[in-house]
Amino acid sequence: MGIIHKYVLLSILLCGLSIPAIAEDVTVIKADRVDTITSGLIENGIIVIKDGRITAIGSDIEIPDTADIIDVSNKTIFPGLVNPLSRIGLSSPPGGGSSSKAHLRVVDELYPHQDIYKRVLRAGYTTFGLVPGIAGAGIAGQGAVIRPVGNKPGEMIVIESGLLMIHFQANDRTKKGIKSALDSAKDKTTSTDPKVKPLVDALQGNIPTLITCGGPGDILHLLKLLEPYKQMKVVLSADSEQYRVADKLAKKKIPVILPARIDFEPFTRNRINVPKMLTDAGIKIALGPKGDSIQAHEDFLREVTELVKFGLNKEIAKKAITINPAQMLAVDYRLGSLEVGKDANLLVLSGDILDAGTKIQMVMIEGKTVYKAP
Tens-digit pLDDT profile for residues 338-364: 999 999 999 999 999 999 899 999 999
**pLDDT above 50: residue 13:** no
- What's this model's pTM, rounded to 2 decimal places? 0.91
Residue 164 sits at the vertex; the CA angle it makes with 158 and 165, to the nearest 5 degrees, is 110
The CATH architecture one would assign to domain 24-80+339-372 is Roll (2.30)
- The string of pLDDT tens digits covering residues 233-287 is 999 999 999 999 999 999 999 999 999 999 988 888 889 999 999 999 999 999 9
CATH code for the part of the protein at 81-328: 3.20.20.140
DSSP 343: B
pLDDT over 90, % of the chain: 84
pLDDT in tens, 253-267: 999 999 999 998 888
pLDDT tens-place string over residues 167-179: 999 999 999 999 9
Whether pLDDT at 7 is above 50: no
Residue among 139, 81, 143 nearest 110 (CA): 143
Confidence of residue 6 (pLDDT cuts 50, 70, 90): very low
Distance, CA of 287 to CA of 102 (rounded, Å): 26
- What is the secondary structure of 70-101 as a DSSP string? EEEEEEEEEEPEEEEEE-TT-PPPP--SSEE-
pLDDT at residue 185 is higher than 50: yes
pLDDT at 93: 65
| pLDDT, tens digit (0-9, with 9 covering 90-100), for 305-328 | 999 999 999 999 999 999 999 999
* pLDDT above 60 for 28: yes
The H or E element spanning position 159 is strand 157-167
Domain residue spans of the chain: 24-80+339-372, 81-328
Residue 358 is predicted with a pLDDT of 96
84 burial class (0-12, 13-18, 19+ CB within 10 angstroms)? buried
Q: What does pLDDT average to over the chain? A: 91
Q: Give the percent of the chain with pLDDT over 70.
A: 91
